[in-house]
Amino acid sequence: MITLRSSDGETFDLDEVVAVELQTIKNMMEDRCAESVIPVPNVEGKILAKVIEYCKKHVKSTAKAEEHALSDADLKAWDSDFIKLDQATLFDLIMAANYLDIKSLLDLLCQTVADMIKGKSPEEIRKIFNIKNDFTPEEEKEIRRENQWAFE
């Protein structure tokens, strides 16, 4: 049993088989520098809870035990439900999945966010990422003109 502690002090108990889904934690365990409670200083409790929920589901799916194994279709459906979250939470999850090195979760989250933003306008993109428009009006006009067909 491994215990993780979030940045805001929440603790989570994990079976080892789940803990190894988080590559960062797995490396710590292998290096034998895992204490009884592993601090995860970059990740808030509510985000860490979500990460662990994903890992628990995905471990069960690769388990040999037939009764817990989910079909690929069921797992995909579960994933689709899992990502129904607000944008801010999705971005926080991306940072957490990257820090904890969970490739399948990171791919799922990044593709979800990419699909959410691909149809947006440049102005909407600036709002989401809090980016300042540093083009002059003439410069922006020229770039838009060159790529006008992509806006239609």
DSSP state of 25: H
Maximum separation of any 2 CA atoms in the chain, in Å: 63
Question: Which residue shows structure tokens 């589901």?
Answer: 57
Residue where the block lists tokens 């009764």? 67
Quote the Cα angle for 65-68-73, to 5°. Answer: 115
Query: Binding residue for other proteins (CB under 8 A) from 72, 81, 121, 138?
Result: 121
Q: Which is nearer to other proteins, 68 or 103 (CB)?
A: 103
Interface characters, 81-120, with other proteins (x: CB under 8 A): ------xx--xx-xx--xx-x-x--x---xx-xx--xxx-
Tell me the C-alpha to C-alpha distance, in Å, between residue 59 and each of 4, 17, 114. Answer: 17, 7, 26
Question: Least distance (Å) from other proteins to the CB of residue 70?
Answer: 26
Interacting residues toward other proteins by CB under 8 A: 23-24, 42, 87-88, 91-92, 94-95, 98-99, 101, 103, 106, 110-111, 113-114, 117-119, 121-122, 125-126, 128-135, 140, 143-144, 146-147, 149-152
